[in-house]
Amino acid sequence: MYPAPIEAYFAPRSIDEALQCLAEAGDDATFIAGGMSLMQAMKARLVEPRVLIDLNEVEELRGLARGPRSLTVRPMTRYRELAATSALHGALQALGDAAATVGDRQVRNAGTIGGSLCWNYVASCMPSACLCLDATLVLASLAGGTRSVPIKTFLVGPLETARRDDELLIEIVFPASIRRGVGSAYRKYGGAVDGLPIVGIAAQVEVDEAGLCTHARFSVGGILPTARAFDGVGEILRGRPGTPAAFAEAAAAAADAIETQGDHLASAGYRRVLIRTLGRDVLAEAHARASNGAGR
């Protein structure tokens, strides 16, 4: 119900200051972003941080920036902002879709993409969306400067990432060619509307002028140990027109290939059903968006 006693609280205003705080506070210090996961854990006393470093006042950790071949999303960007921005239209729309259906309005007003990735809860939306969109994460530390980690390496297991304790996530970089003909989408099934994903699926599809798929990426969240991508979808769709049969075949292949767990929310078998059906629909939607882009 109530957090354990906290000894110190800092609200740094810059990345440097945040890293400085962390270095000084040592082991028991924790960053707090939107707090939508961390506060749950603190109130349940699953974690009892001695020192809290609040990232909400660090202006340079917020917002989006477009580069020539990439889009950088800074970690303190909130779901509400991701859901509303037009910067994601087209190739990165899956991220907007995912952000728009996280939890509820109040959670979307507070929660951040960076917090979600660093927490890496099994039933979460950002990890699978970012995996599909092939993000690269930039981590900074006082000792080691910055390093880039591909999302695939970053996501390790339930509540586990490749981030070292002394590191701050400062950027999430998405490859974003300005070419048309790329579309992506995300959908989830969580039992209730906007519920935590029992299965969440992101797909990105690229089509050529003739409407044939040239490339596709596909990832699944809600499964143990962590969100996973399935490259077979790209192989199945390459060179084929985007037909319902093709999407169904690709999603079925993913459902067969990806190992799923059973729990009291859903059996492993039902999770495969969800991958098959949601997967097919997400591919179709990504394809439709890609085709719209290509036609424009």
Partner 1 sequence: MSTAGETGWIGRSLARREDARLLAGRGEYLADLRVPDCLHLCFVRSAHAHARIGAVRLEAALAMPGVAGAITGAELSREVQGQRIPVLIPAFPARYRQYWPLAVDEVYWHGEPLAAVLAEDKYVAEDAAAAVEVDYEPLPAVTDAEAALCAGSPRVYDDWDDNEIFATGYTGGFEAEGIARNDAEVDALFAGADVVLSQRFRTQRCGVCPIETRGALALWSDADGLTLHLTTQRPHIERLALADLLELSTSEVRVIAPRDQGGGFGVKAPFYREHVVVCHLARKLRRPVRWIETREEHLMTVSQERDQIHDLEIAADSEGRILALRNRGIGDVGDGRQGVYWGFVMPSLGSVMLPNAYAIRHADIKLRCAVTNKTCLSPSRSFGALPTRFALERGLDMLARRLGLETAELKRRNLITDFPYTTVTGVHHDSGDYVKAWDTLLERVDLPGFRALQAEARTQGHYLGIGFACGAEFSGIPSDVLVPLENQPGYGVVTMRIDPRGKVAIHEGDAPQGQSHETTMAQVAADAFGIHPDDVSVRHGDTGTTPLSSGTIGARGASYTVAAIAEAAAALKAKMARYMIHDHGLEDADPADFAFQGGAVVYEKDGNVRRDFGALADRIVMGSINLPPGESPGLEHTAYFEAPKPMICFTAQAAKVEVDVETGQFVILDYATCEDVGTVINPIVVEGQVQGGVVQGMSNAMFEEFLYDENGQQMTADFETYRLASAADVPTVTVSHAPTPCPDHPMGVRAVGEGRPGPVPGALANAICDALAPFGVEITALPLKPETILALIEAGRAGEGA
Partner 2 sequence: MKKEITVTVNGEAITHTVPLRLLLVDFIRDECGLTGTHVGCTYEGRCGACTVQVDGRALKSCMKLAVQADGKEVTTVEGLAREDRLHNLQKAFSRYHALQCGYCTGGILMNAVDFLNENINPSEDEVRRALVGNLCRCTGYSHIVEAILAASAMRHGLKPVPPPAETEPAP
Ligand X SMILES: Cc1cc2nc3c(=O)[nH]c(=O)nc-3n(C[C@H](O)[C@H](O)[C@H](O)COP(=O)(O)OP(=O)(O)OC[C@H]3O[C@@H](n4cnc5c(N)ncnc54)[C@H](O)[C@@H]3O)c2cc1C
Any contact of residue 195 with partner 1 (CB under 8 A)?
yes
CA distance 102 to 179: 29
Residue from 23, 26, 27, 44 touching partner 2 (CB under 8 A): that is: 44
How far apart, in Å, are the Cα atoms of 75 and each of 43, 79, 85?
23, 10, 15
Any contact of residue 168 with ligand X (CB under 6 A)?
yes
Any contact of residue 6 with partner 2 (CB under 8 A)?
yes
* Interacting residues with partner 2 between 118 and 177 (CB under 8 A): none
Q: Which does 9 bind (CB under 5 to 8 A by kind): partner 2, partner 1, ligand X, none?
A: partner 2
Q: Which does 249 bind (CB under 5 to 8 A by kind): partner 1, partner 2, ligand X, none?
A: none
Any contact of residue 245 with partner 1 (CB under 8 A)?
no
Burial class (CB in 10 A: 0-12, 13-18, 19+), 278: buried
* Interacting residues with partner 2 between 48 and 77 (CB under 8 A): 52, 54, 56
Query: CA quadruple 113, 265, 271, 90: dihedral positive or negative?
Result: negative
Q: Are 92 and 72 in contact (CB under 8 A)?
A: no
Other Cβ atoms closer than 10 A to 45: 11
Residue from 19, 21, 92, 125 touching ligand X (CB under 6 A): that is: 125
CA distance 71 to 151: 15
CA distance 175 to 71: 6
Other Cβ atoms closer than 10 A to 225: 14
Select from 151, 150, 291 the least CA-distant residue to 214.
291
State the distance between the two ends of the chain, measured CA to CA, in whole angstroms: 53
Q: Considering the complex, what minimum distance in angstroms separates the CB of residue 29 from partner 2?
A: 13
For 233, residues 6+ apart whose C-beta sits below 8 A from its C-beta are 203, 216, 217, 218, 250, 251, 253, 254, 279, 283
Segment lying near ligand X (by CB under 6 A), choices 119-127, 236-244, 260-268, 275-283: 119-127
Nearer to ligand X, 168 or 216 (CB): 168
Any contact of residue 198 with ligand X (CB under 6 A)?
no
Which residues are near partner 1 by CB under 8 A?
1-2, 4-5, 45, 104, 189, 191-196, 264, 266-267, 270, 273-274, 277
Q: What residues make contact with ligand X under the rule CB under 6 A?
A: 30-38, 40, 55, 75, 102-103, 107, 111-112, 114-116, 118-119, 121, 124-126, 163, 168-169, 196
| Site for partner 2, rule CB under 8 A | 1-9, 11, 32, 35-36, 39-40, 42-44, 52, 54, 56, 80, 103-107, 109-110, 193-194
